[in-house]
């Protein structure tokens, strides 16, 4: 019996897997396949519709970046085994807080932004605390906050201002040091250069005639890339990342092994709230107003992007890169269908089909990796 120890034999039923196939089979595979398919599809059917000129690219990149920002939070939280359905309401609420602090109360915009972040992250922590303490499914607890936050987002401005849209934030943000971090643009000189060389389109008329139609990369996109990089790094390269997987894979087993599961989950709720607030701040700074109906249904869009990206709804498995690709697919499909000229009410049909295909493919890949049956 002891002899088997020195020369462990390979189980003949486990096939040797080529290194190529091994490199291919990763959680992101579904997202990568989907991205390639979607771009091929639109290259064929919307190739010369303006979808791939500078304005078009900026358009679907911006929409995808929006999805990415909230998908990163939703992805990490889902891997940690929880949901947050209050993301959409949180976006509306955070934007409204900034508007009220800066416009209604007249405080400096940077204070308004920091306060909004503090309030929203505290609400995220409260979400997590209630889930941990009561043991209720996060689905229910955050559903409650979906209503609570949306309610306040309508009630507070109505009480203070008798309206549900508060504008004038652009004027308030004039000269503020923090606002450009969310509403500004980077790389303007590069696009000016491209415009001068005739490499991208320029405005034909108006006060900005001759300027390039795309005059910089919105901070929204920068935030999306930074958050994706941060989330991916956190999840795969750090000790905390291992705890996120463990907390979502089997909270009891993780606790038995000494993982601070509760702290991990609460931190991920805070992270989700942070992402929602980044989304809201970018939106408010770009458009200069906050409205009570901002962000409706965004929580589902985030969850859909995460699921397209290969994460397991029940937690313990997934990838931030995958979620980012899911967001890209979502954004490209949503805007791309407009470019192809398809009747817009069919958007949901396509979304449903893509979601279904992605989940089937992802389940298949996941079974290959994890040996689930």
List the interface residues with another protein, window 114-143 (CB under 8 A): none
Interface of this chain with another protein, residues 59 to 98, rule: CB under 8 A: 59-60, 62-63
In whole angstroms, give the CA distance from residue 53 to residue 42.
Answer: 13
How many residues lie near another protein (CB under 8 A)?
101
Q: Minimum Å distance from CB 141 to another protein?
A: 23
Please select the residue that binds another protein; options are 129, 148, 167, 181, rule is CB under 8 A.
Answer: 167
Q: Looking at beta carbons only, is 30 or 130 nearer to another protein? A: 30
DSSP state letters, 342-370: --GGGHHHHHHHHHHHHHHHHHHHHHHHH
179 in Cβ contact with 173 (< 8 Å) = yes
Region from 67-75, 137-145, 201-209, 224-232 binding another protein, contact rule CB under 8 A: 201-209
Q: Looking at beta carbons only, is 136 or 187 nearer to another protein? A: 187
Q: Looking at beta carbons only, is 124 or 241 nearer to another protein? A: 241
In whole angstroms, give the CA distance from residue 205 to residue 219.
Answer: 26
Tokens matching residue 290: 């906050």
Q: Looking at beta carbons only, is 141 or 335 nearer to another protein? A: 335
Q: Looking at beta carbons only, is 119 or 234 nearer to another protein? A: 234
Distance of CA 108 to the CA centre of its chain: 28
> Per this entry, what is the length of the chain?
373
Please select the residue that binds another protein; options are 47, 134, 237, 313, rule is CB under 8 A.
Answer: 237
Question: Is residue 161 close enough to count as binding another protein by CB under 8 A?
Answer: no
In whole angstroms, give the CA distance from residue 327 to residue 74.
Answer: 11
Question: Is residue 216 close enough to count as binding another protein by CB under 8 A?
Answer: no
DSSP state letters, 113-164: HHHHHHHHHHHHHHHHHHHHHH---HHHHHHHHHHHHHHHHHHHHHHHHSSS
Closest CA to 73 of 232, 248, 276: 276
Cα 116–Cα 81–Cα 239 angle in degrees, nearest 5 = 85
Q: Looking at beta carbons only, is 137 or 352 nearer to another protein? A: 352
Interface of this chain with another protein, residues 305 to 334, rule: CB under 8 A: 312, 316-317
Residues 6+ apart with CB under 8 A from 359: 307, 308
Interface of this chain with another protein, residues 247 to 276, rule: CB under 8 A: 249-250, 253-254, 256-259
Please select the residue that binds another protein; options are 135, 177, 197, 207, rule is CB under 8 A.
Answer: 207
Q: Minimum Å distance from CB 132 to another protein?
A: 18
Question: Is residue 36 close enough to count as binding another protein by CB under 8 A?
Answer: no
């Amino acid at each position: 019996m002891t002899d088997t120890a020195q020369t462990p034999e390979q189980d003949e039923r486990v096939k040797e897997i080529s290194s190529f196939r091994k490199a291919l089979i990763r959680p992101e595979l579904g997202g990568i396949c989907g991205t390639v398919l979607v771009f091929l599809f639109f290259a064929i059917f919307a190739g010369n519709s303006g979808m791939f000129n500078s304005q078009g690219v900026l358009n679907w990149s911006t929409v995808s970046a929006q999805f990415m920002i909230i998908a990163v939070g939703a992805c990490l939280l889902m891997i940690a085994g929880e949901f947050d359905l209050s993301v959409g309401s949180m976006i509306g609420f955070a934007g409204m807080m900034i508007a009220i602090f800066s416009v209604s109360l007249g405080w400096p915009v940077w204070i308004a932004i920091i306060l909004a972040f503090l309030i929203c992250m505290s609400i995220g922590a409260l979400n997590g605390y209630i889930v941990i303490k009561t043991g209720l499914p996060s689905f229910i607890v955050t559903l409650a906050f979906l209503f609570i936050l949306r309610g306040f987002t309508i009630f507070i401005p109505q009480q203070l201002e008798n309206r549900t849209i508060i504008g004038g934030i652009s004027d308030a943000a004039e000269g503020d040091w923090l606002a450009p971090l969310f509403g500004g643009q980077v790389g303007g000189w590069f696009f000016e250069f491209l415009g001068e060389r005739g490499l991208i389109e320029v405005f034909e008329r108006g006060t900005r005639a001759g300027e390039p139609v795309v005059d910089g990369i919105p901070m929204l996109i920068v935030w999306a890339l930074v958050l994706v990089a941060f989330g991916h790094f956190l999840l795969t390269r750090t000790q905390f990342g291992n705890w996120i997987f463990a907390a979502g894979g089997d909270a009891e087993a993780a606790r038995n092994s000494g993982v601070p599961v509760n702290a991990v989950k609460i931190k991920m709720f805070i992270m989700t709230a942070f992402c929602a607030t980044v989304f809201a701040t970018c939106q408010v700074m770009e458009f200069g107003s906050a409205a009570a109906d901002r962000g409706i249904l965004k929580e589902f869009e985030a969850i859909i992007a995460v699921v397209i990206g290969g994460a397991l709804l029940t937690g313990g498995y997934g990838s931030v890169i995958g979620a980012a690709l899911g967001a890209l697919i979502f954004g490209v499909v949503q805007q791309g269908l407009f470019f192809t000229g398809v009747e817009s009410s069919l958007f949901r049909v396509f979304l449903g089909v893509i979601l279904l295909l992605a989940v089937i493919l992802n389940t298949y890949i996941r079974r290959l990796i994890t040996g689930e049956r």
